[in-house]
Amino acid sequence: MEKKLLEGKVALVTGAGRGVGRDIALMMAEHGASIIVNDIGSGGDGEGLDNSPARNVVDEIQSKGGIAAVNYGSVSNFGQAKGMVEQAVDSFGRLDIVVNNAGILRDAIFHKMSEQDFDQVVAVHLKGSFNVSRNAADVFRSQQSGCFVHMTSTSGLVGNLGQANYMSAKLGIVGLSKSIALDMARYNVRSNCISPFAWSRMTESIPATTPEEMARVEKLRQMTPDKIAVVATALAADENVTGQIFAVRNNEIFLMGQSRPLRGMQRSKGWSAATILDHAFPALRPSFYGLDRTTDVFTWEPV
């Protein structure tokens, strides 16, 4: 029997009613953690409310002998995020793991994206991750330990069409995670990101009209959320990994790069616009990034 890696731990998993969040909650419970299952039960676009997804996950955990409680709060509301953290401490005596997984999609080509679509996606993904993390930080600091796992995306790390709101939020989460890792290392608090490749409601909106697009979607269907849950569970159990970004694609795990200088130019007399155009840009151009999308970078079949 596999060792229970999270025995005695308490985890708060947001957006845990379906998809990746559900599988993370179930796997962490299997490894001995008590779980706060948070989900407002909205549709993929953030509309509507449904208590049944989160309730069903709690029931499933309990039916297998695990410990779980349900929470229907919205991560985009700071007060409700505080309530999630307080519920964990009140119900189980502590909080050790926060998985910021809740999210919505409002895709639109940039020149047609509304302010509301931008604000709502950022409010759930980025502001929601801040809200939950900031409230959990007080608990983690007090007990001198804790672990954050945040969900980013290659849409933000690499690029994608029609997702300015989602890309902005997901790349912002990378900065948030690194800031937490730096600021809270003195309290033995760790913070990492996962960029998941998995078929869920968040990927159902991917267009599939051409044979090539249909083939890509079919491959995505084979990348199940449990592959992400394994990595999230490992990050929650490890006491040394922090400040990193991992991408998970089926049975592949990638350590993703972080922004560092590629090439440099120096001119003792200083630069003018003309000398930049004549000298700096031509010299640096071989290292320029193209307008890549995720599929341009991950060009091989998932394994």
0.85 exceeded by the pTM? Answer: yes
**In a domain? residue 268:** no
Q: How far apart are CA 301 and CA 303, in angstroms?
A: 6
| Whole-number pLDDT of residue 203 | 56
The answer to whether 254 and 246 are in contact (CB under 8 A) is yes
* Helix 19-30, helix 226-237: angle, nearest 10: 50
Q: How far apart are CA 68 and CA 135, in angstroms?
A: 20
**In a domain? residue 210:** yes
**Domain region containing 131:** 10-259
| Whole-number pLDDT of residue 215 | 73
**In a domain? residue 293:** no
Distances (CA, A) of 191 to 90, 239, 251, 254: 24, 11, 23, 17
Q: Are strands 245-249 and 189-197 parallel, antiparallel or unpaired?
A: parallel
Q: How far apart are CA 293 and CA 85, in angstroms?
A: 37
| Rounded average pLDDT over 236-248 | 97
| Rounded average pLDDT over 88-101 | 98
User: In this model, does residue 282 exceed pLDDT 70?
Assistant: yes
Give the DSSP H/E element, type plus range, for residue 10. strand 10-13
| Whole-number pLDDT of residue 3 | 80
**In a domain? residue 175:** yes
- If one counts the domains in the chain, the total is 1
Residue 46 pLDDT level (bands cut at 50, 70, 90)? low
**In a domain? residue 127:** yes
User: In this model, does residue 59 exceed pLDDT 80?
Assistant: yes
Helix (H, G, I), strand (E, B) or coil at 169: helix
Rg of the Cα trace of the chain? 21
| Whole-number pLDDT of residue 44 | 66
**In a domain? residue 4:** no
**In a domain? residue 2:** no
| Whole-number pLDDT of residue 202 | 53
User: In this model, does residue 210 exceed pLDDT 90?
Assistant: no
| Rounded average pLDDT over 103-110 | 96
DSSP string, 218-274: HHHHTS-THHHHHHHHHHHH-SS--S-EEEEETTEEEEPP----------TT---HH
Bridge partners (DSSP) listed for residue 100: 150
Is 290 exposed, middle or buried (CB count within 10 Å of its CB: 0-12, 13-18, 19+)?
exposed
Bridge partners (DSSP) listed for residue 247: 195, 254
Question: What is the set of active-site residues?
Answer: 166
Q: What's the CATH number where 196 sits?
A: 3.40.50.720
Residue 190 pLDDT level (bands cut at 50, 70, 90)? very high
**In a domain? residue 62:** yes
Which tens digit of pLDDT belongs to each residue from 138-181?
999 999 999 999 999 999 999 999 999 999 999 999 999 999 99
| Whole-number pLDDT of residue 157 | 97
Is 50 exposed, middle or buried (CB count within 10 Å of its CB: 0-12, 13-18, 19+)?
middle
Q: How far apart are CA 44 and CA 82, in angstroms?
A: 24
